Amino acid sequence: MSSADTRIGLVVRGHGRHYLIEDEDGVRVHCLTRGKKSDCVVGDRVRWKRSSDHEGVIESVEPRRNLLFRQDEWKTKSFAANLDRLLILVAVDPQFSESQLTRALIAAESAGIAAEIILNKTDLPGANAARERLAPYRAMGISVLELSLKGQKDASRAALSPLLEGQATLVLGPSGTGKSTLINLLIPDAQAQVGEISHALNSGRHTTTTTQWYWIDSERKSALLDSPGFQEFGLRQISAPNLASYMADFKPYLGDCRFHNCSHRHEPGCAVLTALEAGKISPSRYRIYDELWNELSSPPKY
């Protein structure tokens, strides 16, 4: 086949070298990559060509607008590419990890992806305590949307729909927060889609370990992406000296320190430490910054 036979497709699911590509007409085709290694992720636009009536081969990946990923000492795990928005789902119960929330926000900021927080299960006791923990994030300008996805389905759907319109939105959150409830609320046939795609890729065992692309509307303008769960969220792609620049509550004070290479940890004349003492930066946020600095400045353990 000549290069003229290649066409553009959207990666909607992948496992190993096997991908499901959606063409410009909405038809989905099982494709393989050339070679053993693949750099494709869900959300990628790829050039591919048919190899048979039912399968194709991915030739190349088109340039990305962005890529959301996490990186620890041993490996890099990509969530998705070409995103417009990240929704970080936390809940009143189980109690969310502020460290994991901060890490996800930093990863989004470093990738240039708009991020918002959803607080679910606000009908449960403990909602006020969860709101207090999220107060610093509201104060730094991050949107926090409160929902009760199971108890107030219509209201939740009405609040979410305009937020997602015309966007490719990834939902990120630990197990137990209501991620599946949110997906099924907006995409009633989500489970059927998972089954169909798993059958196409012969990867039913892996349905919870890879990102899944869903269209919310029949016009294929608005998409919701369900991400795999995770226990850790490494940020090894970020250097310790650059960490503060990805934290919205630190940003207003950067450049005002006495030393241009200030670490914002112990130096005299540090504007960040002054803001902390004045109550403009929350102690919990600063503690997370200090932990991340130590993590990112330490040599890998491998």
Confidence at residue 31, expressed as pLDDT on a 0 to 100 scale: 94
At 199 the pLDDT is: 55
- Per-residue model confidence (pLDDT) at position 283: 97
Map tokens 């620890």 to a residue: 72
What distance lies between CA 51 and its chain's CA centroid? 33
Quick one: pLDDT at residue 26?
93
Please list, in sequence order, all residues whose beta carbon lies within 8 angstroms of the beta carbon of residue 34, skipping any fewer than 6 positions away.
Answer: 57, 58, 59
- pTM beyond 0.95: the answer is no
Annotated binding residues for Zn(2+):
257, 262, 264, 270
Give me the pLDDT at residue 207, please.
41
Mean pLDDT by 10 residues, the chain (302 residues): 76 90 94 83 95 88 96 89 97 95 97 97 96 96 96 95 96 90 89 55 50 94 90 92 97 96 97 98 97 91 60
Q: Binding site membership: which residues?
A: 120-123, 173-181, 257, 262, 264, 270
| pLDDT for residue 294 | 96
Give the pLDDT confidence score for residue 249 in this predicted structure.
97
Q: What's the pLDDT at 190?
A: 77
Task: Please enumerate, by residue number, every residue annotated as part of a binding site for GTP.
Answer: 120-123, 173-181
Domains belonging to the chain, first-starting first, are 3-61 (2.40.50.140), 67-226 (3.40.50.300), 240-297 (1.10.40.50)
User: What pLDDT sits at residue 230?
Assistant: 74
- What are the angstrom distances between the C-alpha of 130 and each of 98, 122, 246, 287? 11, 9, 23, 18
Run of H or E including 297 = helix 283-297
Gap between the Cα atoms of 200 and 9, Å rounded: 16
Question: What confidence score (pLDDT) does residue 155 get?
Answer: 96
- What is the structure's pLDDT at 191? 67
Q: What is the CA radius of gyration of the chain?
A: 21
